[in-house]
A and B are shown apart, each in its own frame.
Chain A
Amino acid sequence: MKRRNFIYLTGVGAAAAMLPAIPVFGKEISPEQALTYIDPAAKKILSDVALNAARSKGATYTDVRVGRYLNQYVVTREDKVENIVNTESYGIGIRVISNGSWGFAATDKMDKDSIAKAAELAVTIAKENARLLREPVKLAPQKGYGEVSWKAPIEKNTFEVPVKEKVDLLLAVNDAAMKGGVDYINSILFAVNEQKYFASTDGSYIDQDIHRIWPTFFITKIDKATGKFETRNALSAPTGKGYEYLDARPQDKIQTASGTLYKGRYDMLEDATQGARQLGEKMKAKSVEPGKYDLVLDPSHLWLTIHESCGHPTELDRVLGYEANYAGTSFLTLDKWESKKFNYGSKEVNITADKTEVGSLGAVGYDDEGVKCGKWDVIKDGILVNYQAIRDQAHILGLNASQGCCYADNWSSVQFQRMANISLQPGKAKLSIADQIKNVEKGIYIVGDGSFSIDQQRYNFQFGGQLYYEIKDGKIAGMLKDVAYQANTQEFWNSCVAICDESDYRLGGSFFDGKGQPGQVSAVSHGSATTRFNKVNVINTARKI
């Protein structure tokens, strides 16, 4: 849900004029400051102040996160740089258990007195809330790791690349699209660096350095005679990589009948050029005839369907009702898991949760409550076999350890259960995109993510895309527009009949997945290969006002 804030911030979309009124992600700093890391020894001293203060006020468990969150965004349109901002958010969040209840307090005043006061406030809140508890918090055991560290295995730190290089790239991208005949382009390079330090009374002191990057653009073409306009967004994916993501090699490209698709790395300039061409085609595309179609979904599109219809409903806090007041609950209730025979999808469907996949947005060494991360099955041969849990939920699943899904988007936010990378495993038999299309009689091939909406228990969804190609008798028969498909999650995944092989496996993802109150964002990747779903209901979205 926070995606909207991001769009305002970057001036993309209708509400550029709101810019001054929107709170920014953090304070702004100069680029060179972003390269100075805070010494873990200093962070350990601050953490110990909080741990000791909370303990002395009666906390039975405390964890502390000293966080430095850096964002950089470079925003351009056509031939202009609209904004270059570096922001930093630095502070401490202290979470305690006292009288069996959670308490949390955070401050950006990093002197010892202010930290001790924040720890005391966290304990006060916990004690005050204990009278509203039905049962005390039960934490899965967790050993302390001592002083350890983890760094994302990036090749090129985005924050070390000169701003000029980034500006030059985006302006070249804009130029390519404009030469290709688009009327407008907004392009953005967004980079994140989380430098976070975790300490707990279990005896862990964990220093981590996490990087994310998302280059993207939005192009618009207007038919002056009719006033109609169409748009096409970049086919890039936000990733847990460094600036090397923008250094695409031949092996990172997949050539299809529609154009180039990207695997692992991204050629932004090429995508802007082909995007302009495809947008021209989209302007002339046929409006879709509503009805049932076999859908062939590209990973640049399917990641979002996986995110909404499998990632969210398998979050254990939603299943249990902790998100009932906001994001909602889940149709994947515990009885369905206990039965060990709930057919979430067809036998082709194998979905894993993975906090370790290299280059993914969700990859970390340890989660935000000091649990070492791993990988596990969620849907196995179509059957629901597991969820995503954190320390105070593990006992509900009969687990004696957390699955490591705890995350807070800032030092000032309390950590809670967030989605792991949830990915559809590729098919075992050799199958290419061309093979998938060849096998379809009446279908639509969809590339790129578009409009998305799903109900609060994750049954009914509607998705659009960026590019829609009609498939007739095994061949692409031109582009369509005004396409959206509506389905029921279980019926949809049971209509999954074929998944391309490993060579087509690609990651998509979200930079701004919203959840919780107060709202927090998280970044998560979803892998898949091109997948076919039979007889899905497609609607026509064209209207007149």
Chain B
Amino acid sequence: MTARTAPPPARRRRAGGLGPSPWWGYAMIAPAFIGLAALYLWPFLKTFAKSFMDTPAFGPGTWTGLDNYTDLLGDGDFWQAFGNSGIYTAILLLGVPIATVLAALIQQISRGRAVYRVLYFLPVVTLPVAISMVWRFIYNGDFGLLNWVLSLFGVQGQYWVADDAYAIYAIGVVGIWMSLGVNLIILGAGLQSIPPELYEASSMDGAGRVRQFFKITLPLLSPSVFLVTVLTVISALQMFDLVFVMLRSVDNTALDGSKTIVYLFYEKAFVQFDQGYGAAIAVVLLLVIMLATVLQFRLQRRWVFYD
């Protein structure tokens, strides 16, 4: 009994010794709490609820159970958008090995690192809308730069972003180009933590750069590569801007066959004002992202090296 009653005063005294009354804590998190509750927690619950409702543009909605979800499963547009987001994500994952090699190259050179970092980072700080416009011009089928360059090599040009057969791949290339800078910085920070002695020792043993990359850099950098992979998947599944700008024609609709999940969500919830259906799309997106992330954490044991 005494043992059970003894701790609280001691704890209170300790708390009193460490800081002022708990009300200070509540007061300081109050702005964050109010904001996050009103703008994130509550909207999240609302969206979740709406996904089970039929929501007319005006007036209250009615509960319809799983109707939105069963409609989604039978909706060809949804599966197509889902597939497009999958393709886009897969293409962006190709950017991870590219970034890994480039990060290692930058680490190896003795001068000029800062210049490369800045040049590779430029797309990150440029408006995605602006980037989309520039690439749309480069991809132009009639007088775009890409088709001209390809013609120099005798390759037949295409209407890259006006043709569903190519559009999502063309956008994927831009996505890799855009995300390279961020990936390089994260991987570069990971490279800093590899002890230089390892490279020196292996150089003395006669190991070349390529061998060092596979035997030292890659295993020791794998936690950072893993982080970049997880972040790439999460952000690629949420891609919106590039589709919105690059694929919209003058009549304000994107190429039908090349929409991504988030574009479809935007169109349903905020253009057609079918919020219930849009909400269901968003909830499915959440599930897909969670599943993809959990899966990657499961698989990491196979290839990520922690010391």
Q: Do A and B bind each other?
A: no
Interface residues in chain B, defined as those with a beta carbon under 8 Å from any beta carbon in chain A: none
Interface residues in chain A, defined as those with a beta carbon under 8 Å from any beta carbon in chain B: none
